[in-house]
Amino acid sequence: MKIISGGQTGVDRGALDAALATGTPCGGWCPAGRKAEDGVIPARYPVREMESPDYAARTRQNILDSDATLLIHFGELEGGTRLTHELCRQPGKPCLVLDMTRGDSGQAVAKITAFVRKQHVRVLNVAGPRASKVPRAAAETGRLLQRLLAETA
């Protein structure tokens, strides 16, 4: 399985970090200039630049280039996380919405594993809030995805 994301701080980078740590193929699209809330997305993340600086354009392209989206959130769906959920509906792409404030990580890994197997996912787009909204998002996503990648390898 390949993991893609937009390279933003938070969930996006947590997913890419997990893929890089486990030797899992990864990538995705990011806005022009490798724009993120903390400046320029570091070169260690193998994301490709869109011509547009628009976050929504990058989000849409990652949805289109994936077999399914894992939308990790922590309470309310808002901002770019809500937009991702709405954009998944337009092309009819499968989307698993996972609220990390409910249940434990073992249950979350089991849900994601069942989802990727049922949907025959080869490319999984991972999205969710940025670090300024949920400071623990990258670390929690990284731990979750490392467990997922170990179970689905």
Question: Top-level CATH class of 2-152?
Answer: alpha beta
The pLDDT value given to residue 58? 97
pLDDT of residue 53: 95
Handedness of CA 103, 62, 60, 66 (dihedral sign): negative
To the question of pTM greater than 0.85 for the whole model, the response is yes
Per-residue pLDDT of the chain (153 residues; tens, 9 = 90+): 999 999 999 999 999 999 999 999 999 999 999 999 999 999 999 999 999 999 999 999 999 999 999 999 999 899 999 999 999 998 789 999 999 998 788 899 999 999 999 999 999 999 999 999 999 999 999 999 999 999 887
Q: pLDDT at position 43, please? A: 98
Instruction: Locate the domains of the chain by residue range.
Output: 2-152
Per-residue CA distances from 88 to 2, 46, 58, 84, 142 (Å): 18, 23, 13, 6, 23
| Residue pLDDT, tens place only, 140-149 | 999 999 999 9
